[in-house]
Amino acid sequence: MRNRIERSRYAQIALTYTKPLPIRIWAASTAIGVLWIAVTTVLVGTTDSGVHAAMLFLGGSMAVWVGAMIAAHAKEQLADPRASLVPHFRTPHLVVAAVMFLVLVIGLASAVAGLQAWVAVHDVSLTGYLAFVLVLTALLAWMAQLQSPAMLIPIAAVLSPVMFADGRAWLSEILRGGAPKTGYVLLSASIAALVALWWRLSRMHEEMPDYACGVSPGLRLKVRMTGDPIFRRENAAGASRIETFVRHAARFDYVPNIAAAGFWRRARHWRHVIGTGRMPIFVAALLGVWVPLLHSTMTKDDVGLMVALVAASMVPGQMFAATWPRRWYVLGEESLRPASRRQFLREQGAAMALEYALTWAWLSAVTFTSATLFARWPYGVFAQLMMALPLMAGVQVLIFGILVWILRFRAGWLIIAPIFLVTAIGLAALIAGGTMAHAREVGMIMLVAALLTVAGVGITLDAYRRWLVTELD
Amino acid sequence: MRPAVSIHVSPNSGVPIYRQLMDQLRAQVAGGRIAAGDFLPSVRQVAEELQVNPMTVSKAYSLLERDGIVELVRGQGMRVKDIATNGKVRREAILPLLKQVAATAKQLSLKPEQVIAQLKPLLEEIER
Amino acid sequence: MSDAPIAPRAPLQLRRVHKYYGASVAALDGVDWSVPAGSVVGLLGQNAAGKTTLIKTALGLLRPTRGEAQIFGEDAWDLPAAVKARIGYVPQVITLYPWLRVRQLINYTASFYPHWNDELVRTLALNWAIPREEKVGNLSVGTLQKLAIVLALGHEPELLVLDEPAASLDPGARRDFLRTILDIAADGRRTILFSTHITSDLERVADRVAILRAGKITYDGELDELKDSVKRLHVTAEAPLPPTFSVPGTVRLKIEGNEALVSVRDVSEKIVDDIRRNYAATVGVQDLNLEDIFLELHHA
């Protein structure tokens, strides 16, 4: 009798990993991804090592992501009063999480590495590969746990070898299995970190500072009760000093009255709360600084070019895909401010467009300048960037339209999809733009840019039409 | 003159507030605690003191006016009418209680003589 | 049971409003309701009766599947700016910008309205002990609720709509809130609608009550009239009461031998006398307060 209850308890917990729709979507995409890796690996066979490296990377990323999600899911279940009050709560949850982790993460990583080894192009050491995957997973999992900017330090430390040629050589040694001891050390360290995380989860209680950090706040956009504990935690986190500084709250010390102001004045006013404040400046600065850093460690010329193109193609879209859905929290109330529905939607749209355009301009300007300044042949790089620019601009219009179109839907999981969509589109634009600029196909670039712009405008107008009949609350 | 009227209403009782107000004001007028010619406190004053909706108070006042207990004097408020009608008011005020006494007597199967026999000494006691 | 005549420019009006979620779930099932100007109306209903849906549909946040919702005579879905400047709304779920300080949030809210009473807001914030320098994200639930109410009052709206406004307030704060409502209602030019399941609050301030049940308004009229007409009768007969014992307008009936408890919707002298005569019984009439009335009307 007791066995049956215990077994059903484990089964119930396992179900929490498979039932929610977002997780099912994740599982489906991961399965597709794995299948694709397997097929590609086998098809490509012994020929191209670049593709194999990409497969390894992809497989490893998926394993890392799955691991971090499991840790985050476990945290959500254990950072809860029930963990302390319900008997036999913690152990089964931790056990199931650990089992999931072993099967999915280590299993996935091992499968990918094993497949590579079997096809025998790369000498992939299982230890080394697993070490990589687990180190990154441990970092992400702890990041999800602590949600503290202090985590950036160990992440930067771990990623720093990538910056230097010697570092990169060392890393590939580990991957090939040429430095087994280092591999084992890294493996042990990451396992220790993960065990430490599991131990912390088993001890989770209210007094801990990381108890209150919402793990996946954006995934639930349905309007919530005042007093909802998760929302209150988010609120408390949202009032941190960093948030206040980044959001530039000081602007609100004096807010001019816009009741009778014109359209553009009002649209600019909305930017106060639609935008991300000073965040674009920080991101731009970060990327701008990263360029010379990369240059000093890499021999390839166009690394600065790459960064600039990435910044100009996908970063703004990603930023807004991640932050705009949160507007839904206040959209209903804001829609009751004195303005007709059409007026309101147009102003919001204009504000969002302004914000997007300015962010893009900032990011592009800073990264283009940085890339040009630190390139070995500045003129060449500058020319390429300028040629690719129209395409980058055009694709932003398209991305904006798509984001605004998708934003109408309030399903939680739709937050993640746009980010990946933006990344995919941005990547396509980057590759196309980079290639065409390199080949000096200016005419082609202008044509594609024009097409993208027209498509983007069309989608935006259609989105506006649909927004007019969307319930705002 | 606007006397401070000591009224107490319970909003959560089954009796509507306006009715409670009316009953109490009637009783006070009948009992002489508010003299004929006196002005009732303003609607706003009563509403603020009792923490109730002013419309309820003004409803009570206009019903009292309809019943002839008070009259509206332009610019000054509600003035209590003279004593001549108050006797009737006093008799009407005690009627609900008497009805209850009668009903309870019937339930207990008491005869009218028995009830009156019990009532008389009580009334005489109060007079002293 | 609706006795309010439909005024052409009533502050809030719903005509044959249906609201469906999906194909089958009817949150509002034919609501005909209007709120007369200058009144304080309480919307009463069980949890999940649809009070929030009703309010949101009336304000144009949700779109009725069928029927019309109007505010001051204008279609609620497409309210012009001038009308929106005359309404104040305190939602049940309060979501504000956590990274702003209270005074900054007040500034931000004020910036949208052509008319804003700084003095009023300052006084209220002071009386209700809302810390002006504190960040909104750090406020307790009760303070957050008070802040939301203050923000809705700043532009001195003619129509104030509150959805479960006192749910998170302690008794002292609730009393303060009711006092403020009374102050606002005092001049008779403003209309206040609030939904609640706390009947004692309603009894103090509301002059009209609307009861929402299963997506329909089952009572809409004066609170006093409701209290005057719904009563519980204690019937004591000399002989056991027959199973055919019935009273017109019965809401609930319980017979036990010689006695019966009958809750009646529209009590009158005639009904009481009829029972006395037909069943040779004594009838005690019990007054019911709003909570009792609500329970009686909902017991089935």
Could you report the per-residue pLDDT of A186-209, keeping only the tens digit for each?
889 889 988 998 888 888 777 676
CB-CB contact of C294 with C199 (8 Å): yes
The residue from A202, A219, A240 where one domain ends is A202
How far out from the chain centre does Cα C36 lie? 13
Token pair of A399, please? 């991305």
Q: What's the CA gap between A159 and A153, in Å, rounded? A: 10
Contacts of A272 in chain C (CB under 8 A): 108
Alpha-helical (H) ranges within chain C are 51-59, 81-84, 102-110, 118-127, 141-153, 171-185, 199-205, 223-229, 269-279, 290-298
Q: What's the CA gap between A414 and A422, in Å, rounded? A: 13
Closest-CA distance, B11 to chain C, in angstroms, reads 5
- Nearest CB neighbour to C282, from listed B17, B59, B107: B107
Q: What's the CA gap between C47 and C182, in Å, rounded? A: 26
Q: What's the CA gap between A135 and A158, in Å, rounded? A: 9
Q: Which of A215-219, C125-129, C179-183 has the highest mean pLDDT?
A: C125-129
Residues A270 and A184 in one domain: no
List of long-range contacts for A285-289, beta carbons under 8 Å, 24+ apart: A285/A366, A287/A311, A287/A315, A287/A363, A287/A366, A287/A367, A287/A370, A288/A366, A288/A367, A288/A369, A288/A370, A289/A370
Flag the least confident range among A71-85, C51-65, C198-212: A71-85
Neighbours of chain A (3+ CB pairs under 8 A): C
pLDDT for res A346: 95
Which of C97, C144, C147 to probe the A interface (max A CBs under 10 A)?
Answer: C97
CB-CB contact of A424 with A369 (8 Å): no
The residue from A202, A228, A253 where one domain ends is A202
Contacts of A247 in chain C (CB under 8 A): 99
A211 is a domain residue: no
Residues A191 and A100 in one domain: yes
Q: Is beta strand C40-45 parallel, antiparallel or unpaired with respect to C191-196?
A: parallel
Rounded mean pLDDT of A120-143?
80
pLDDT above 90: percentage of residues in chain C: 44
Q: What sign results for the dihedral spanned by CA atoms A407, A409, A410, A416?
A: negative
Flag the least confident range among A141-155, A356-370, B7-21: A141-155
Residue A101 has pLDDT above 60, yes or no: yes
Residues A122 and A271 in one domain: no
Residue C290 has pLDDT above 50, yes or no: yes
Rounded mean pLDDT of C142-146?
86
Contacts of B55 in chain C (CB under 8 A): 39-40, 185, 188, 207
Task: Mark yes or no for CB contact B52/C204 under 8 Å.
Answer: yes
Closest-CA distance, A431 to chain C, in angstroms, reads 39
Residues A293 and A185 in one domain: no
In DSSP terms, C277 is beta-bridged to none
Closest-CA distance, B128 to chain C, in angstroms, reads 34
Contacts of A240 in chain C (CB under 8 A): 99
Rounded mean pLDDT of C255-276?
87
A184 is a domain residue: yes
Name the band, by pLDDT with cuts 50, 70 and 90, for residue A49.
low
Rounded mean pLDDT of C37-46?
91
Residues A13 and A153 in one domain: yes
Flag the least confident range among A160-164, A265-269, A343-347: A160-164
Contacts of B17 in chain C (CB under 8 A): 203, 224
A216 is a domain residue: no
Rounded mean pLDDT of A42-61?
73
Residues A195 and A266 in one domain: no
CB of A343 within 8 Å of any CB in chain C? yes
Q: What angle do CA A29, A32, A34 make, to 5 degrees?
A: 110
A226 is a domain residue: no
Q: What's the CA gap between C171 and C206, in Å, rounded? A: 18
Q: Where does residue A71 rank: exposed (0-12), middle (13-18), buried (19+ CB within 10 A)?
A: buried
Q: What's the CA gap between A72 and A323, in Å, rounded? A: 20
What is the layout of strands, in order, in the sheet containing C216-222? C87-90, C159-163, C191-196, C40-45, C208-213, C216-222
ipTM, 2 decimals?
A: 0.84
Token pair of A316, please? 């703004």
Q: What sign results for the dihedral spanned by CA atoms C82, C88, C90, C95?
A: positive
In DSSP terms, C287 is beta-bridged to C231
Of A85, A168, A83, residue with least CA distance to A132: A168
How far out from the chain centre does Cα C162 lie? 9
Rounded mean pLDDT of C264-271?
88
CB of B55 within 8 Å of any CB in chain C? yes
Name the band, by pLDDT with cuts 50, 70 and 90, for residue B84.
low
A89 is a domain residue: yes
Of C283, C234, C269, residue with least CA distance to C255: C234
Please report, for residues A332, A398, C80, C157, C250, the alpha-carbon distance to residue C87 in angstroms, rounded to integers and kept in the order given. Answer: 14, 38, 12, 5, 40
Map tokens 């799955």 to a residue. A66
pLDDT for res A124: 74
pLDDT for res C126: 93
Q: What's the CA gap between A382 and A372, in Å, rounded? A: 6
Residue A25 has pLDDT above 70, yes or no: yes
* Per-chain mean pLDDT for chain B: 82
Residues A307 and A189 in one domain: no
pLDDT for res C68: 94
Of A413, A411, A410, A415, residue with least CA distance to A470: A410
pLDDT for res A54: 73
Q: How big is chain B by its Cα radius of gyration, in Å? A: 17
CB of A468 within 8 Å of any CB in chain C? no
Residue A214 has pLDDT above 50, yes or no: yes
Residues A366 and A276 in one domain: yes
Q: What's the CA gap between A189 and A183, in Å, rounded? A: 10
Greater confidence (A122 vs C109) lies with C109
pLDDT for res C60: 93
DSSP single-letter state for residue C12: E
A450 is a domain residue: yes
Could you report the per-residue pLDDT of A267-304, keeping only the tens digit for each?
999 988 887 788 888 888 888 888 887 777 666 667 77
Q: At what angle do helices A315-323 and A341-374 cross, to 10 degrees?
A: 140
Domains of chain A: total: 2
Residues A437 and A316 in one domain: yes
Q: What's the CA gap between B45 and B66, in Å, rounded? A: 21
Flag the least confident range among A56-65, A400-409, B109-118, C12-21: A56-65
Q: In terms of pTM, does the model score above 0.90?
A: no
Residue A220 has pLDDT above 50, yes or no: no
Q: DSSP string covering B8-51, please?
A: ---TTSSS-HHHHHHHHHHHHHHTTSS-TTPBPPPHHHHHHHHT
Flag the least confident range among A31-40, A58-67, A201-210: A201-210
DSSP single-letter state for residue C257: T
A209 is a domain residue: no
DSSP single-letter state for residue A49: H
What count of CB pairs under 8 Å joins A to C?
A: 128
Residues A138 and A272 in one domain: no
Task: Encode burial over C26-60: b for 16+ CB neighbours within 10 A, e otherwise.
Answer: bbbeebbbbbbbbbbbbbbbeeebbbbbbbbbbbb
Of C218, A131, C179, C94, residue with least CA distance to B47: C179
Q: Give, for C14, the enclosing helix (H) or strand (E).
A: strand C12-21
A255 is a domain residue: no
Residues A344 and A440 in one domain: yes
In DSSP terms, C208 is beta-bridged to C41, C222
pLDDT for res B80: 85
Contacts of B110 in chain C (CB under 8 A): none
pLDDT for res A413: 60
Contacts of C290 in chain B (CB under 8 A): 12
- What torsion, rounded to 10 degrees, do the Cα atoms A273, A275, A277, A280 define? 170
* Per-chain mean pLDDT for chain A: 81
Range of the domain at A271: 261-467
Q: How big is chain A by its Cα radius of gyration, in Å? A: 24
Q: Give, for B62, the enclosing helix (H) or strand (E).
A: helix B54-66
Rounded mean pLDDT of B104-124?
87
Alpha-helical (H) ranges within A338-441 are 341-374, 378-406, 416-438
Residue A350 has pLDDT above 90, yes or no: yes
The residue from A151, A179, A202 where one domain ends is A202
Residue A378 has pLDDT above 90, yes or no: no
Token pair of C4, please? 């309010």
Residue in A with minimal Cα distance to C135: A239
Q: Is beta strand C250-256 parallel, antiparallel or unpaired with respect to C281-287?
A: unpaired
Residue A345 has pLDDT above 90, yes or no: yes
Rounded mean pLDDT of C41-63?
90
Residue in B with minimal Cα distance to C176: B51
Residues A279 and A140 in one domain: no
Residue C1 has pLDDT above 60, yes or no: no
Name the band, by pLDDT with cuts 50, 70 and 90, for residue A254.
confident
Chains C and A touch (3+ CB pairs under 8 A): yes
CB-CB contact of A60 with A109 (8 Å): yes
